[in-house]
Structure 1
Amino acid sequence: MTDYGILSLLPPLVAIGLAIVTKRVLLALFSGVWVGGLLVAGGNPIEATTETLKWIVLNIAAAWEEDGHLVTDLWNTRILVFDALIGAGVALIYKAGGMNAIAKAVTRKIRTSRAASLMAAVFGTLIFFDDYTNTIIVGNTMRPITDRARVSREFLAYADDSTAAPVAVLAVVSTWIGYELGLLKDAIASVGESISAYSAWFASWPYRLYPILAVLLVYIVAVTGRHYGPMLRAEYRARTTGKVLRDGAQPMMTTEVDVGMPIEGKENVWVFVLPVLTLILMTFLGLWVTGGGSATYAQGGFQEVLSHADSTWALVWGSFSMLVVAMALILGRRIMSLEEVESTIVSGMKQMHFAMMILILAWSIKRACDAVGTADYIVRVASNVLSPSLVPLVVFVVAAFISFTTGTSWGTFAIMMPIAVPLAYNLSGEFGPVVYASIASVFSGGVLGDHCSPISDTTIMSSMFSGCDHLDHVNTQIPYALTAGVVSVIMLLLFAAGLQNGWLLLAMAVPLLVVFHRLLSEWYGARIGIPGGRVPVYVVGDDYGETLGEETESEGGALTYAVE
């Protein structure tokens, strides 16, 4: 393969730079893919366009070329089918009044913006077994609740995103751990050690500083009501005006506009609860079946089943079953006619087209980065100047950069793990703290970069199901992601200085995170005239008919500042 050197950084940097400057995500992503095609085509713009279109088509078809042959893997295709089905299901439940019904029921208990924010964090932590499933369920379930409590869509997307991948990468039972263990097993075998992948996974857990801190920060922010960066403006806007989206925002799911207002007078919580339960149960059943079922379970328990499962098939089964149950309930209760159901399903699928186009282009830029060797160049440059104790820090930074520029945490894991483990092992001379911390840094850095990247699929899906403008989500989340990332870097510097007990580093990191959060909220709040960066707590009134985005107070609603 041709060595493009530093030019290999151009595709992701062009995409990310244009996305930030122009706020036109599709244009930015396409431009990044085209620049990659231009490099591969040797500067010929016509051939570059041909290569770009080929990458896009192959991603839609979930195929790629290998040794001159076309190889297919329907992962991407199943994700697109799932997106269409979940869009249809969500639209149907919304139109039938199911979301309004659950919002009214829950709001009787969740009556403040603080409680709604905290519930989003808790719910996101409970859906630990898969990051995609997390974004779907948390975003769709919490959106009507947080809207009524005047919590911004930006915060909901942040809570959704920061309890998705970080929780999944930490969970002992998840769709991630099988992939992680497979990578670890191969990396350990490459250095001639016989240690089990499971024991290495557990030994690396306390060094996974970023995902742990990212989850904790969501709770800290939700409980204290202290914010900084663009999120402070977003939350203050939502509390004081009722606008959960900024003026001019382009949410990735505009259900209210695309589908129309919910049918009133026939709201029923079961129209929401039963389809969502079906989604969860059928997704679990799909994981069980595709993972080998009882035969695989007998070999290694439920974790062994998950390690062999195909989560995309499970999500397709779950979303289709959700749609069928919703249709049956709505038609059975005569909430909508068959014609209205069909029309709503089509509208629900249509509202997903923008998000699906972004996903396709995000996958395409990953293909462009592979073609020009972006990740290989980054790793090669970073590996030149290393001492053993600095390996975890460098691995963390490099993994974060690769994940940020390619938009994939899993791809970063696959690139970095075969390099990080042998590098740490050979430089340290043992399978000890340096190796375990390096393993953790691969996972932590991959998740950090994924969180900050506007071309990450999980970041896109968090925006999608939270109904948030995608770039607003990225801009408001980055300061929090970087806060947890900086604390992680400080801890890894202490590791390099000789403090190599993972649990002790974690115990030091948590209070440091709290201090950083407090200082940043005080500083930024003073800068824009909001003392302490604290937004008021909104208390939901008894009028459940207020319109989203009204600038007037709803009846009975009130703003107050809670005492910490």
Structure 2
Amino acid sequence: MAEFGAASLIPPLLAIALAIVTRKAVLSLFLGIWSGGILQAGGPNLLSDPTGWASGVVSAGFGFFPTFDWIIAAVSDEFHATIIVFTLFLGSGVAMVWNLGGSYAIRDWALARLDTQRKGGLAIGALGVILFFDDYANTAIVGSAMKDASDRLRISREKLSYIVDSTAAPVATLGISSWVAFQLSLIDDGYEAAGVSDHPPVFEVFVNSVPFNMYSILAIVMVFLIVGTRRDFGEMLTAERRAWTTGKVNRDDARPMQDVAAELGEPAADHPRLINFLGPVAVLVGVTIATALWTGGFTASAFASDPTGALWSGVTNAAYDQALMYGSFAMIVSGFVLGKLQGVVSLGEATDTTIEGFGIMLTAISILALAWGIGEVVNALGTGEYVAGVAESVVNPAILPALVVVIAAFMAFSTGTSWGTMGILTPIVIPVAWTITGGGAAGHTLVAAMVGAIFSGAIFGDHTSPISDTTVLSATFTGADLIDHVRTQLYYAVTVGVVAIALLLVWGFVGIPPIVLLPIGAVVLVGLVYGLSELDARRRGVDPITANAPRENGESAEE
């Protein structure tokens, strides 16, 4: 592989910059991939051999040949292809629920109990925490379930996306989930790369790393803090005031990733029934969990002899992508059954709804494919290895965890993949931690800190990147504009990220246990939310609590 060095950062950073500036994600991602095609075609010898570089670019179709090779490779990857099918099926499941009146039913049920923005936001966040087993399923279920209710409460789609996104991956990385299964394998790989065979069980190392996963923990705290205080700052304050005062949950020129009502029209069911939402969602969750355990080798006989071991083995070895695909397909089937039993839609109408459901996901799939294409580019150009090389040059254990958060965040931001970031950094950083401490108990402690720091940084970078698949799907299932979601969430993610980095520096230099630092971090976030919201609101001449603003129709404030 040719050595591109810092030039390997050009494609992902170009795509991100263009996406933020132009708000056109598809075009920006494609141009980012194309710039990588030009780089690879010409090679790293532009300055030393400009003629040869130009010849290489021309012979590669001006960079278009590798560009489309990467896009094709991205969508033909088995995991990616399965996620595409899952996304299409889930679109059909959402369309089926809509056509059966399930979305209206859950909206009416929620509104009868959630009569304020605060209650609505807390319910959305709580649901995100409860659905901890997979971040994709989390965003799909929570976004679809709460979108209509949040619209009626005049919660902006940007705020809805933020709550969904920040209670998806952060929660999944702390509980028993597909993330944890992946994390355990990485810890084992890291110790192997360090040449350490006599180490604690990987699950024990993971548990010890949880307090160091400060970004994930504090990101969840931040969600409930923002919702509970109703205070906003940055572009979220603009979005919330727009939604509250005008009723426009998206800005006028926004391009929602999904607009079910506009694309599917009014539901076929005249009398919405709650079973038409809860039934398909229960099938989705139940079949997904059951299939995940089955693909992980879970059996009734093994459970009878060793319940804990059988369950743990099934969870950690599960193929969650396949489980999600089968679960979403079962969701569609349940819609057919409910429609037939209730006489709401015929078999032909249900089939048409299924196909129309594919359509509402095309924008999301296009962006996912191109985001994965960027992943192919950074692999080909060695972007991850270049950035990770910075970590190996650091020898001070005190600053290593904080620095790893920064490096992981930058990698995830520029590559759009937290899993890829964790996969690259873990086998590099664990040996570094082991070596500079000389091993022993101090080595295992720093390894746990490194694992938590890597996961923190990876999710932090994901939350700030418009080319992250979880960011794309959060915007998709909440019906938000992707770039609006990123721009508004950025302020909150950076605030939490800075606090997490500062706490890790305190741990490194002072040695205060992370379990003590986390409550301190939560208190600091309280102060920052109040301080920044007051400062931003005063600068604009408005109230930091959007519900205090008068509506255009003259209705009173929320409470």
TM-score for both structures, normalised by structure 1: 0.92
Is the partner of 2:113 in helix, strand or coil?
coil
Q: CA offsets, 1:262-282, max 9 Å, x none? A: 246321111111011100101
Question: Could you tell me which residue of structure 1 aligns to residue 50 of structure 2?
Answer: none
2:224 aligns with one of 219, 226, 233: 219
Q: Deviations over 1:279-318 (max 9, x none)?
A: 0101011101111112675482422211111111111111
1:516 counterpart residue number: 528
What is the Cα deviation at residue 535 of structure 1?
Answer: 1.2
Equivalent position to 1:121, from 122, 125, 137:
125
**1:402-454: per-residue Cα shift (whole Å, max 9, x none)?**
00000011101110101111111111223243322111101100010011110
**Could you tell me how far apart the structure 2 residues matched to 1:77 and 1:485 are?**
32
Contact in 1 for aligned 2:269/2:344 (Cα 8 Å): no
Cα deviation, residue 131, structure 1 = 0.6
| Offset, 1:190 | 3.1
Does residue 56 (structure 1) correspond to residue 53 (structure 2)? The answer is no
Measure the CA separation in 1 of the matches of 2:85 and 2:390: 40
Secondary structure of 1:559's counterpart equals coil
Alignment of 1:382-421 (within 5 A): 382-421=391-430
Alignment CA distance shift 1:346-1:538 (3 Å): farther
- Checking the alignment, whether the CA contact within 8 Å between 1:95 and 1:344 is kept in structure 2 is yes
Residue 426 (1) aligns with residue 416 (2)? no
1:498 deviates by 2.3
Q: Return the alpha-carbon distance in structure 2 between the equivalents of residues 325 and 552 of structure 1.
A: 41
**Partner letter of residue 148 of structure 1?**
R
Secondary structure of the equivalent of 1:560?
coil
Quote the Cα distance in structure 1 between the aligned partners of 2:266 and 2:187: 50
| Structural RMSD (CA) | 1.8
Contact 2:394 2:400 (8 Å CA) reproduced: no
Matched, 1:81 2:78: no
1:535 is matched by which residue type in structure 2?
A: T
* Alignment-mate amino acid for residue 556 of structure 2: L
Cα offsets for 1:122-163 (capped at 9, x unmatched): 000000111111011100001111111111111111111000
Specify which of 447, 466, 471 is matched with residue 459 of structure 1: 471
Instruction: Tell me the number of residue pairs that the alignment of Structure 1 and Structure 2 aligns.
Output: 535
Once the two structures are superposed, what CA deviation does each residue of 1:341-389 show, in whole Å capped at 9, x if it has no partner? 2322222111111110100011110010010011111122343243121
Q: 1:204, 1:439 within 8 Å by CA — same for their partners in 2?
A: yes
Which of 254, 264, 267 is equivalent to 2:259? 254
1:360-379 maps to which residues of 2 (within 5 A)?
A: 360-379=369-388
Name 2:166's counterpart in structure 1. Answer: 162
By how many angstroms is 1:401 displaced?
Answer: 0.4
Which 5+ residue runs of structure 2 have no aligned equivalent?
43-52
Supply the distance in 2 between the matched residues of 1:537 and 1:321 (Cα, whole angstroms).
44
Separation of aligned partners in 1, 2:247 and 2:340: 34
Q: Which residue of 1 aligns with 2:18?
A: 18
**1:55-114 Cα distance to aligned partner (Å, 9 max, x none):** 11122221xxxxxxxxxxx21111111111111111121122111012112211111111
Contact 2:99 2:269 in 1 (8 A): no
Query: CA 1:27/1:161 → structure 2, altered by over 3 Å: closer, same or farther?
Result: same
Deviates more, 1:322-331 or 1:43-52: 43-52
Instruction: Tell me the equivalent position of 2:279.
Output: 274
Distance in 2 between the 1:194 and 1:507 partners? Answer: 30
Quick one: distance in 1 between partners of 2:520 and 2:191? Answer: 30
**What does residue range 64-213 of structure 1 map to in structure 2 within 5 Å?**
74-171=78-175, 173-191=176-194, 192=196, 193-213=198-218
Can you list the C-alpha shifts for 1:522-549, whole angstroms capped at 9, x where unaligned? 1111112222x1111799xxxxxxxxxx
The DSSP-based 3-state class of the residue aligned with 2:177 is: coil
SS of the equivalent of 2:556 reads strand
2:237 counterpart (232, 235, 245): 232
> Among the aligned pairs, what percent are the same residue?
38
State which of 489, 493, 499 in structure 1 corresponds to 2:505.
493
| Worse overlay, 228-237 or 335-344 | 335-344
Question: Under a length normalisation based on structure 2, what TM-score does the superposition of the two structures give?
Answer: 0.93
**What is the match of residue 542 of structure 1?**
none
Partner deviation per Cα, 1:498-543 (whole Å, 9 max, x = no partner): 2241212212211111111111111111112222x1111799xxxx
Q: Is the 8 A contact 1:149 1:538 kept in 2?
A: no
Contact 1:296-1:305 within 8 A present in 2 as well: no
* Whole-angstrom CA distance in 2 between matches of 1:551 and 1:331: 44
Which position in structure 2 is the counterpart of 1:543? Answer: none
**1:112–1:538 CA contact under 8 A, matched in 2:** no
Distance in 2 between residues matched to 1:243 and 1:45, nearest whole Å: 48
2:475 is aligned with 1:472: no
SS state at 1:357 partner: helix
Letter in 2 for 1:413: M
Contact 2:242 2:248 in 1 (8 A): yes
Q: Secondary structure at the match of 2:114?
A: coil
Contact 1:296–1:304 (CA under 8 A) maintained in structure 2: no
The aligned amino acid for 2:70 is W
Ranges in structure 1 where 5+ consecutive residues have no aligned partner? 63-73, 540-549
Q: CA deviation at 1:20?
A: 1.1
The Cα offsets for residues 214-242 of structure 1, whole Å up to 9 and x where unpaired, read as 00100001111000111111111111111
Rounded Cα–Cα distance in structure 2 between residues aligned with 1:240 and 1:357: 34
For 1:450, the equivalent position in structure 2 comes to 462
Q: Confirm or deny: 8 A CA contact 2:116 2:558 kept in the other structure.
A: no
Distance 1:300-1:537 versus aligned 2 partners, 3 A rule: farther
3-state DSSP class of the match of 1:253? coil
State which of 319, 336, 339 in structure 1 corresponds to 2:348.
339
Letter in 1 for 2:249: V
Determine if contact 2:91/2:357 at 8 Å carries over to the other structure.
yes
CA distance in 2, matches of 1:81, 1:388: 44
Report what 2:49 is aligned to.
none
> Are the aligned partners of 1:82 and 1:315 in contact in 2 as well (CA < 8 Å)?
yes
Distance in 2 between the 1:296 and 1:177 partners? 22
Alpha-carbon separation, structure 2, partners of 1:190 and 1:508: 35
2:148 is paired with a residue whose SS is: helix
- Distance (whole Å) between structure 2 residues aligned to residue 7 and residue 33 of structure 1: 13
Q: In structure 1, give the amino acid aligned to 2:35.
A: V
- Shift in CA distance, 150/87, structure 1 to aligned 2, threshold 3 Å: same
- Letter of the 1:336 counterpart: V
1:354 to 352, 359, 363: 363
| Alignment CA distance shift 1:450-1:296 (3 Å) | farther
